[in-house]
Amino acid sequence: MLEADYVVVGSGSAGSALAYRLSEDGRHSVLVIEFGGTDAGPLIQMPSALSYPMNMSLYDWGFRAEAEPALGGRALATPRGKVIGGSSSINGMVYVRGHARDFDTWEEMGARGWAFADVLPYFQRLENAHGGEPGWRGTAGPLHVTRGTRANPLYEAFVEAGVAAGFGRTDDYNGHRQEGFGPMEMTVWKGKRWSTANAYLKPALKRPNVTLMTRTLARRVLFEGRRAVGVEIERGGRIEVVRARAEVILAASSINSPKLLLLSGIGPAAELQAMGIPVVADRPGVGKNLQDHLEVYVQQASKLPVTLNGKLGLFSKGMIGLEWLLTGRGLGATNHFEACAFVRSAAGVDYPDIQFHFLPAAIRYDGKAPADGHGFQVHVGPMRSKSRGAVTLTGHDPRLPPRIRFNYMSTPEDWADFRTAVRLAREVFAQKPFDPYRGREIAPGDNVRSDAEIDAFVRDHVESAYHPCGTCRMGAADDRGAVVDPTAKVIGVEGLRVADSSIFPQVTNGNLNAPSIMTGEKVADHVLGRPPLPRSNAEPWIHPHWATAQR
């Protein structure tokens, strides 16, 4: 019989970190279950090829959310990694911790022990930051965090334009000051995608106490009474059982972790009974509280041929790929998101609620529909939408995809926030540093000016930034809406935890890979019964006049 002390479901951002830390002292055996397979090959490992794996069924679960009424019935893709490294192997490699206030808010929502002072030491433990603010960054962790060369002049133009518009500059948004314009960080090392498979899982697999099962579907958690004792799996057409001597830990994503809990009898009792699933624990919050970030592209034509749009031909792509294969350098060795900004939408907002990713090209995230000629763009969107959705079952067959409903743009504030975001992006592009480059506006287009016109543009073109979270919310043990307690234990049962972005009470500022890895790091200490790392006394920067000034 397959057996280990700890059975981890999912080898992604949190799961790989868990496998590494739980096995580190050699005292415990760890078995990792992954439905996907190998990450070998340039489509994953070459940073600039990032648009390919996200659109390949070999590497992506292929989830699609339900049609959204507020978006004219559009159904948006919800990619999740189906490969070792999980979504860290198919994402855009952007590294953002989140703002200090995000984590303080988590604690206020019942996640005691997850305030910024508590989590900062775990971010520092996981990082090997090449650059950044001394004292705020880790330099000895498994995860290499780097910055691009910013050789393209448009990166500097973007930062200088933000400063010209009256916004501040930040040289390290992962340091004491997130707010402002500055360089963006990426999980790339020596020209290669530095996923959690490369940073954590592969080193862990060199230990005799770690086992990885790929091409293996986790079907449900098995219980004896109210204690989790293993996982029912399917591989090679056979159904088997993996036993956990100590604990089962779900790190299967904000989509698959709630799905597994529901299939295992943990969730809203009425929903489970309607599916014919015996109820193990009535937890009404399972699958609820689904959140995400949305973004639109504000695109500008470039008068000078300095953008990446000149590198989209087959010959240029071939030369970029050849240089990367031979040297690990060049345009293939970056995700091209090398400058960014975090700003506040209005006076009275105490920390940034709008994020900009700048790209020296006018092109869709999936690599399709490039603009004619040269162009550049910013991906922009609000950070803290109040819209909430849910992940529910479509049936009790574990092979069925879940039903995903985000309820995007379901509050008036969502629309107002996007109008502000689009107008701020336009204001930045209108600044003097862009004068040598700025041509016509490609999108939304000069004819899109009024609130109604911007709303229509957003309705037709807004896309997910692929940051789903919140579906197994962490909170106090007596909170009926919470799914896990502050040690990530599933409330109402024993021997079972969840450790991934599904436990986030509220979505963080920015991309979710970094806080997901931090979650795996921190939960590993809870699992092992170790005292938490000492709290930090570092004080984050808050704009001194935030109550009366927007910038």
Residues making up the annotated binding site are: 83, 91-94
Rg (CA), the chain: 23
What are the CA-CA distances from residue 365 to residues 90, 111, 359, 462 (Å)?
A: 12, 34, 10, 12
- CB of 20 closer than 8 Å to CB of 142: yes
Pairing between strand 2-9 and 30-33?
Answer: parallel
Tokens 């975090």 identify what position?
A: 342
User: What is the DSSP-derived secondary structure letter of residue 199?
Assistant: I
Instruction: Kindly compute the dihedral angle of the four CA atoms of residues 505, 511, 514, 519, in this order, to the nearest 10 degrees.
Output: 20
Instruction: Classify burial at 291, counting beta carbons within 10 Å of its beta carbon; exposed 0-12, middle 13-18, buried 19 or more.
Output: buried
| 356: nearest Cα among 431, 291, 297, 315 | 297
Distance, CA of 243 to CA of 228 (rounded, Å):
9
Annotated binding site for FAD: 83, 91-94
Which one of 99, 293, 357, 467 is the catalytic residue? 467
Q: Could you give the angle at which helices 100-108 and 116-126 cross, rounded to 10 degrees? A: 130
Catalytic-residue membership of 543: no
Q: How many CB atoms lie within 10 A of CB 272?
A: 25
| Secondary structure element (H or E) that encloses residue 270, with its range | helix 269-274
E strands of 344-495, at which residues?
354-359, 375-382, 390-392, 403-405, 438-443, 463-464
Tokens 């952007």 identify what position?
A: 94
Pairing between strand 30-33 and 210-213?
Answer: parallel
Distance, CA of 460 to CA of 448 (rounded, Å):
13
**Token pair listed for 187:** 């999980």
Q: List, as one string, the DSSP characters of 299-338.
A: EEEESSS-SGGGG-SHHHHHHHHHHHHHHS-GGGG--S--
| Secondary structure element (H or E) that encloses residue 78, with its range | strand 77-78
Tokens 């703002």 identify what position?
A: 99
Tokens 């293993």 identify what position?
A: 230
User: What is the DSSP-derived secondary structure letter of residue 74?
Assistant: B
Instruction: Classify burial at 388, counting beta carbons within 10 Å of its beta carbon; exposed 0-12, middle 13-18, buried 19 or more.
Output: middle
Distance, CA of 526 to CA of 544 (rounded, Å):
36
**Token pair listed for 359:** 């790209």
Distance, CA of 551 to CA of 535 (rounded, Å):
31
**Token pair listed for 360:** 């020296």
| 46: nearest Cα among 150, 186, 233, 227 | 186
Q: Which residues are catalytic?
A: 467
